[in-house]
Amino acid sequence: MKRLFVCCFFTVLIIAVSCAQPKIQKNLTDTALLELVQKQTFRYFWDFGHPASGLSRERSNTTNVYGNETVTIGGTGFGVMSIIVASERDWITRQQAADRLLKMLNFLSKADRFHGMFPHWVNGETGKTIPFSKDDNGADIVESAYLFQGLLAAKEYFNQQSQTEKTIRNIIDDLWQAAEWNWFTKGGEHVLYWHWSPDKQWKMNHRITGYNECLITYVLAASSPTFAIAPEAYHEGWATGKDFTNGKSYYGIKLPLGMDYGGPLFFSHYSFLGLDPKGLKDKYADYWEQNTNHTLINRQYCIENPKKFKGYGENCCVLTASDNHLVYGAHSPT
């Protein structure tokens, strides 16, 4: 479980949104098109980051629910990884990347935390919690995990001896070591709980069980240098979810774990931004096989297109969580 953060390359296109209309480019090769989409995705996090904090906004639109001040903790982790890639690929300078990250870290170190964990949303101006729902107004350890995998990747990347980069590493260390992962076992139960509120306590009562996008939460909790969980939490909590073991084949492709057809593709994206699945195995699965087969099943569903949706096919086959005509949907073959 300690094979962490060796894969910073931000190829998972979480939010492919630009902040300015790009120049139209025609007849691009596949490689050039991917480069362009990745660069425009980075610009969402860079150009549209909150001006006061630099953190990633929840949406690019302004509505009664998602205002200009709403920033997302998990999305900020994705944004940190995009900044690392942008620095490495010379879209921005290393110093620009380091300066932005330090701004973000100075803000995060003063923002609301609960037993070392961040809420789902915070106000990008003040750092105060914005409730995600009526009872979800405190710690969200899954969103915090997405942030921490980005920060730990940044800690490894910014390894030079300038004062800025040393300060980056020190602040990340402080935040990482203050995260009380084992406290979220609710008194020592062999499972992690997703939420805790300072006034509602454990009212959400959401046990994190697999298989889904939350694997990284258990990996980080097991890897904590200060507040690690016991192995039993992984085996008796995470690995006992009703959709954990699969083993069936879809379109002739075997799926080791997860719900029928694998679920939305972000199940194979979010945890593996910072965790390399190649060669990663436990007694439940080979995680490279899991991710590859999940993706191939998704693609084959779109090729066969049983519901005859317009545009589905071998070149349009990524079904995952995104906005749609109903605002949001966790899209999948089911």
Contacts of 197 (CB under 8 A, 6+ apart): 114, 135, 136, 137, 138, 139, 203, 204
Contact 165, 173 (CB under 8 A): no
CA angle 211, 78, 151 (to 5 degrees): 100
- Measured over the CA atoms of residue 55, residue 59, residue 61 and residue 63, the dihedral's sign is negative
Residue range 9-224, CATH number: 1.50.10.140
Q: Where are the domains of the chain?
A: 9-224, 245-334
pLDDT at 64: 62
Closest CA to 257 of 268, 273, 266: 268
Q: What is the mean pLDDT of the chain?
A: 91
The whole-angstrom separation of Cα 71 and Cα 127 is 9
Matching residue, tokens 């990008």: 124
Token output for 261: 């057809």
pLDDT digits (tens, 9 = 90+) for 244-295: 999 999 999 999 999 999 999 999 999 999 999 999 999 999 999 999 999 9
* pTM score, whole prediction: 0.91
For the chain, where are the alpha helices, taking DSSP H only? 30-47, 73-88, 94-108, 141-157, 163-178, 215-223, 231-236, 287-304
pLDDT digits (tens, 9 = 90+) for 22-78: 577 789 999 999 999 999 999 999 999 999 999 999 887 666 667 789 999 999 999
